[in-house]
């Protein structure tokens, strides 16, 4: 990996090795920009905060230890992008800006599309310190300050991170520390059982003692560890339900064990019945998080954060905001986003996420959550994120973690300037517009009107209209010859009732429900006339045809841009757009054919749909 590929393209190639503090890193970064007359003034109590002032030709940056680092990156970025510096004290919206890596000790990355793990190989820690420093630098430059290094699905061998591999974890933590980044570990709720105890019951004193001792050992090795991430009672992971306990019982037991060390428990709320009988139309998976956690609101300890995915399903291309995020009043909440493009093109198809996040924060007041997390999209590939343009999602995530109101246009514009500074204004705009529209294009050819889950099971790339239909995962569209979708209104599963007004009323009524969410909330006949005068089936056909055509247009734009990109990026981008086009074609033809066969309704424009 080389800085020249990402948004630090104009920075010094590498930093000196033995930098001890974030302020040292800040000074080292500034050294490469001698034209910037910036003096740093440390004011410890400011923490992450910073303030920039100018007097005459001199500039002063005042900040806490990490604040100086963030202010320095902001200053250099403003200089490179020729943007003004903000005035007044700058502070992050969220103190914990977390990145969750789903890396296994084997080196494999669950849902990873950027190569193997940057941290692990063959059951042990194995990394190139220079790459880790580079990663740390990238993350710090966009304000990410917490990194969970191992997969939430903690399989047996990963427990070693809390045992014999702890000294290695401590060494890795030391590499990140000068960049203001602290580590977390995912932990296995059943760890006491794996150590010979007969139970992992959170109310059992022996289990509590086990965790107290374990926490002491872990924090002894890594004193500034942020805490543990826990996936419990989710997709076959062990959890408190086995012992008839609640998730508050489970989370609080761990929280009390880590509290003496200032630790935090990040408890994931991804709990649903993954063994549902498809014949059962009463159980509705999106209702699960709210049903499980609302009754517990107010019963979690202070050092527990409930981490809830942005939508109620699972990182689909389009979902409404999770009602649990909107409704829980007395629990510390974190929203979990997914940068790795599991359902969103797998870093083959271009999918720039900032426009999607803006929509989420339209419905979710940023103040409802106290932290933010994202599943990482990084790996050992030369450009670290698989597709060079996927870096905009990592960079953009850092931007919104600092300030969730940052506009997508601003994020993408700055990223393009920093990453490809030599593009002329016309080509810069071509790239920016391509990225800005990429999510909408992907949505059209894969999941228009929120027609999600028509994806190849398990790998989650490519179309399979009934792939998830008769499975136990609670992911149904129930398409028949007349209609498609699940009725989640008050007359159906009642999911919509989990929303506070006015969203509840908006979604309840198909006439006010935004088109893009129609089939999430409503079961609709194919001949229903939508707000734009077209029938539902015609919209399905049209969006798939248009989505493909828009990929063709993106391809043309890319061919104009390609000669101007660095050779490695050019090669990656050009080879992937061919795959994206093939993918879009497949989606168009498979999904249109599926609905054409079912409904027998012709496309009004008589385009080619297979029989
Ligand atoms: C999805 C994903 C899994 C992952 C899970 C989670 O279901 O497919 O690979 O483990 O989310 O968020 O825990």
Other CB atoms within 10 A of residue 428 CB: 18
Q: Of 108, 111, 473, which is best to mutate to test ligand 1, by the most ligand atoms within 8 angstroms of its C-beta? A: 111
Q: Of 342, 376, 456, 460, which is best to mutate to test ligand 1, by the most ligand atoms within 8 angstroms of its C-beta? A: 342
Task: Choose the catalytic residue: 235, 280, 505, 552.
Answer: 235
Q: How far is the CA of 316 from the centre of ligand 1 (A)?
A: 12
Q: How far is the CA of 275 from the centre of ligand 1 (A)?
A: 15
Active site (annotated) includes residue 542: no
Question: Which residue stretches of the chain have pLDDT < 70?
Answer: 1-5
Query: β-pairing, 58-63 with 38-42?
Result: parallel
Classify 40 as helix, strand or coil: strand
CA distances from 463 to 145, 538, 587, 594 (A): 37, 19, 5, 11
Classify 159 as helix, strand or coil: helix
| CB of residue 270 inside a 6 A radius of ligand 1 | yes
Q: How far is the CA of 74 from the centre of ligand 1 (A)?
A: 34
Instruction: Residue 437: name the closest of 359, 518, 350 by CA.
Output: 350
Q: How far is the CA of 507 from the centre of ligand 1 (A)?
A: 27
User: What is the rounded CA–CA span in Å between residue 390 and residue 346?
Assistant: 10
Q: How far is the CA of 194 from the centre of ligand 1 (A)?
A: 23
In sequence order, what E strands does 364-440 have?
371-375
Residue found under tokens 């991804």: 270
| CB of residue 134 inside a 6 A radius of ligand 1 | no
Instruction: Residue 435: name the closest of 264, 561, 299, 581 by CA.
Output: 561
User: What is the rounded CA–CA span in Å between residue 461 and residue 453?
Assistant: 10
Look at ligand 1, atom 10, and give the residue with the nearest C-alpha: 153
| CB of residue 297 inside a 6 A radius of ligand 1 | no
Spell out the residues 6+ positions from residue 120 whose beta carbon is closer than 8 angstroms to its own: 103, 104, 105, 106, 107, 126, 127, 150
Nearest atom in ligand 1 to 338's CA: 12
The answer to whether the beta carbons of residues 200 and 156 sit under 8 Å apart is: no
Q: How far is the CA of 378 from the centre of ligand 1 (A)?
A: 16
Look at ligand 1, atom 11, and give the residue with the nearest C-alpha: 314
User: What is the rounded CA–CA span in Å between residue 265 and residue 304?
Assistant: 5
| CB of residue 545 inside a 6 A radius of ligand 1 | no
| CB of residue 153 inside a 6 A radius of ligand 1 | yes
Q: How far is the CA of 431 from the centre of ligand 1 (A)?
A: 31
Active site (annotated) includes residue 342: yes
Q: How far is the CA of 150 from the centre of ligand 1 (A)?
A: 13
| CB of residue 233 inside a 6 A radius of ligand 1 | no
Rounded to 5°, the CA angle 206-210-215 comes to 150
Look at ligand 1, atom 1, and give the residue with the nearest C-alpha: 314
| CB of residue 313 inside a 6 A radius of ligand 1 | no
Structure tokens at 454: 């028509």
Classify 455 as helix, strand or coil: strand
Instruction: Residue 312: name the closest of 408, 407, 466, 452 by CA.
Output: 452
Look at ligand 1, atom 12, and give the residue with the nearest C-alpha: 270
Other CB atoms within 10 A of residue 510 CB: 17
Radius of gyration of the chain (CA): 24
User: What is the rounded CA–CA span in Å between residue 104 and residue 91?
Assistant: 34
What pLDDT score does 155 carry? 78
What pLDDT score does 4 carry? 57
- Sheet of 58-63: strand order equals 38-42, 58-63, 50-55, 89-90
Q: Of 234, 289, 314, 471, which is best to mutate to test ligand 1, by the most ligand atoms within 8 angstroms of its C-beta? A: 314
User: What is the rounded CA–CA span in Å between residue 321 and residue 361?
Assistant: 9
Q: How far is the CA of 96 from the centre of ligand 1 (A)?
A: 22
3 state SS for 292-304: HHHHHCCCCCCCE
Active site (annotated) includes residue 213: no
User: What is the rounded CA–CA span in Å between residue 56 and residue 39?
Assistant: 13
| CB of residue 110 inside a 6 A radius of ligand 1 | yes
Q: How far is CA 320 from the centre of its chain?
A: 15
| CB of residue 314 inside a 6 A radius of ligand 1 | yes
What pLDDT score does 158 carry? 82
User: What is the rounded CA–CA span in Å between residue 475 and residue 468?
Assistant: 6
Query: β-pairing, 264-268 with 50-55?
Result: unpaired
Structure tokens at 152: 């939430």
Q: How far is the CA of 270 from the centre of ligand 1 (A)?
A: 9
| CB of residue 108 inside a 6 A radius of ligand 1 | no
Q: Of 113, 270, 313, 455, which is best to mutate to test ligand 1, by the most ligand atoms within 8 angstroms of its C-beta? A: 270
Task: Choose the catalytic residue: 342, 381, 487, 542.
Answer: 342
| CB of residue 589 inside a 6 A radius of ligand 1 | no
What pLDDT score does 525 carry? 98
Structure tokens at 112: 């990873």
Structure tokens at 548: 């493909």
| CB of residue 231 inside a 6 A radius of ligand 1 | yes
pTM: 0.98
Handedness of CA 96, 346, 454, 230 (dihedral sign): negative
The answer to whether the beta carbons of residues 285 and 474 sit under 8 Å apart is: yes
Look at ligand 1, atom 2, and give the residue with the nearest C-alpha: 111
| CB of residue 336 inside a 6 A radius of ligand 1 | no
| CB of residue 432 inside a 6 A radius of ligand 1 | no
Task: Choose the catalytic residue: 29, 103, 233, 314.
Answer: 314
Query: β-pairing, 524-525 with 124-125?
Result: unpaired
Q: How far is the CA of 529 from the centre of ligand 1 (A)?
A: 36
Nearest atom in ligand 1 to 336's CA: 12
What pLDDT score does 154 carry? 84
Instruction: Residue 552: name the closest of 575, 580, 571 by CA.
Output: 580
Nearest atom in ligand 1 to 102's CA: 10
Q: How far is the CA of 304 from the centre of ligand 1 (A)?
A: 21
């Amino acid at each position: 990996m080389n800085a020249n590929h990402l948004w630090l393209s104009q920075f010094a190639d590498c930093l000196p090795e033995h930098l001890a503090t974030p302020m040292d890193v800040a000074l080292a970064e500034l050294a490469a920009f001698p034209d910037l007359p910036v003096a740093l003034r440390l004011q410890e109590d400011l923490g992450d905060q910073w303030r920039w002032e100018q007097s005459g030709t001199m500039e002063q940056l005042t900040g806490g230890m990490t604040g100086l680092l963030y202010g320095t990156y902001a200053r250099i970025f403003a200089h490179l992008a020729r943007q003004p510096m903000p005035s007044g004290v700058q502070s992050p919206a969220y103190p914990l800006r977390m990145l969750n890596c789903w890396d296994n000790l084997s080196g494999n990355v669950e849902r990873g599309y950027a190569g193997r793990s940057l941290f692990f190989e063959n059951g042990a820690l194995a990394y190139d310190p220079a790459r880790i420093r580079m990663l740390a630098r990238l993350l710090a430059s966009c304000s990410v300050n917490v990194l969970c290094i191992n997969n939430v699905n903690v399989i047996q061998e990963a427990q070693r991170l809390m045992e014999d591999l702890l000294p290695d974890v401590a060494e890795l933590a030391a590499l990140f520390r000068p960049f203001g980044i602290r580590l977390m570990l995912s932990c296995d709720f059943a760890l006491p059982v794996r150590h010979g105890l007969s139970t992992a019951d959170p109310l059992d004193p022996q289990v509590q003692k086990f965790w107290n001792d374990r926490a002491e050992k872990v924090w002894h090795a890594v004193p500034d560890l942020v805490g543990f991430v826990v996936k419990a009672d989710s997709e076959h992971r062990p959890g408190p339900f086995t012992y008839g306990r609640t998730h508050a019982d489970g989370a609080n037991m761990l929280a009390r064990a880590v509290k003496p060390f200032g630790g935090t428990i990040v408890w994931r709320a991804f709990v649903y019945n993954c063994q549902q009988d498809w014949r059962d139309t009463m159980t509705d998976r999106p209702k699960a998080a709210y049903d499980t956690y609302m009754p517990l609101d107010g019963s979690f300890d202070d050092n527990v954060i409930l981490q809830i995915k942005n939508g109620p399903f699972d990182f689909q291309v389009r979902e409404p905001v999770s009602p649990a995020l909107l409704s829980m009043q007395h629990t510390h909440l974190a929203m979990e986003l997914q940068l790795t493009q599991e359902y969103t093109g797998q870093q083959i198809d271009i999918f720039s996420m900032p426009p999607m996040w803006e929509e989420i924060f339209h419905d979710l007041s940023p103040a409802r959550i106290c932290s933010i997390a994202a599943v990482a999209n990084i790996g050992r590939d030369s450009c670290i994120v698989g597709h060079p343009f996927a870096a905009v999602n990592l960079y953009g995530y850092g931007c919104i973690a600092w300030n969730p109101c940052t506009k997508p246009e601003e994020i993408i514009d700055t990223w393009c300037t920093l990453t490809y500074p030599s593009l002329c204004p016309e080509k810069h705009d071509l790239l920016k517009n391509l990225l800005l529209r990429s999510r909408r294009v992907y949505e059209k050819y894969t999941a228009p009107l929120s027609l999600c889950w028509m994806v190849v099971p398990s790998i989650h790339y490519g179309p399979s209209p009934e792939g998830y239909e008769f499975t136990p995962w609670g992911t149904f569209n129930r398409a028949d010859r007349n209609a498609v979708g699940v009725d989640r209104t008050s007359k159906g599963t009642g999911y919509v009732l989990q929303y506070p007004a006015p969203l509840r009323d908006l979604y309840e009524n198909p006439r006010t429900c935004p088109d893009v969410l129609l089939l999430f909330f409503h079961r609709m006949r194919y001949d229903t006339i939508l707000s734009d005068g077209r029938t539902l089936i015609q919209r399905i056909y049209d969006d798939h045809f248009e989505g493909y055509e828009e990929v063709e247009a993106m391809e043309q734009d890319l061919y104009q841009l390609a000669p101007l990109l660095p050779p490695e990026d050019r090669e990656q981008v050009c080879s992937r757009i061919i795959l994206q086009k093939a993918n879009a074609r497949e989606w168009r033809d498979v999904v249109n054919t599926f609905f054409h066969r079912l409904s027998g309704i012709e496309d009004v424009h008589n385009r080619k749909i297979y029989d």
